[in-house]
Amino acid sequence: MPKIAIILGSTRTARAGARVAQWVLEQAQQRGDADYELIDLAEVDLPQIDEPFPPAMGRYTHAHTRQWAATIAAYDGYVIVTPEYNHSFPGVLKNALDRVHAEWHNKAAGLVSYGAGGGVRAAEALRPVLSALQLADVSAQVTLNLRTDFADFGASFTPGDHQGPALAAMLDQLLSWSNALAATRAGTS
């Protein structure tokens, strides 16, 4: 069974993303088609990149980087939950993505974004980064709008009726790509 990480890409104390990531996790686990786990970047010890060698070299010298590499390597695909900050995604998410390299290769990623405009600019800013890491980002995505899917500027989260099917479509694509890329990683494609 594929192993999928749901990465919560915000570390703000009053973040709406924790409720979003929990919703994604609960919906995904009900499917029974993969092993879904939540990775909260607020709980991961990742200082700003402090390695002496570029991540593409795979020469990780710090224990926190080696642990992160092992964590990322253990998954077949990822759902990235990201807010939109200033027309992009949070720096903590960029740091987490850039910290390791080969561990991301030939895997799939799906995007769940949120913000005043559904977080679409954050998702679009993420796509070239994912491509550079050899992550295949699926086209179906979930865009949660602070005006319609949240109340009180994110204090409460009630996704619209259309969001469940949008999440299901994204997860369907993510699993399809994750399974296909598993053969590539195994050298059997």
Residue 187's pLDDT band (cuts 50, 70, 90): confident
Q: Which amino acid makes up residue 101? A: H
- Domain span holding position 11: 3-186
Q: Are strands 156-157 and 150-151 parallel, antiparallel or unpaired?
A: antiparallel
How confident is the model over 102-128, as a mean pLDDT? 97
Is 150 within 8 Å of 156 (Cβ atoms)? yes
User: Alpha-carbon distance 138 to 129, whole Å?
Assistant: 14
Share of the chain above pLDDT 70, in %: 98
pLDDT in tens, 15-47: 999 999 999 999 999 999 999 999 999 999 899
pLDDT in tens, 133-150: 999 999 999 999 999 999
Q: What is the mean pLDDT of the chain?
A: 96
**Number of domains the chain contains:** 1
The DSSP H or E segment spanning 109 is strand 107-115
Q: What is the CATH number of the domain that holds 83?
A: 3.40.50.360
pLDDT at 152: 78
Radius of gyration of the chain from its Cα atoms, rounded to whole angstroms = 16
Q: Which amino acid makes up residue 109? A: A
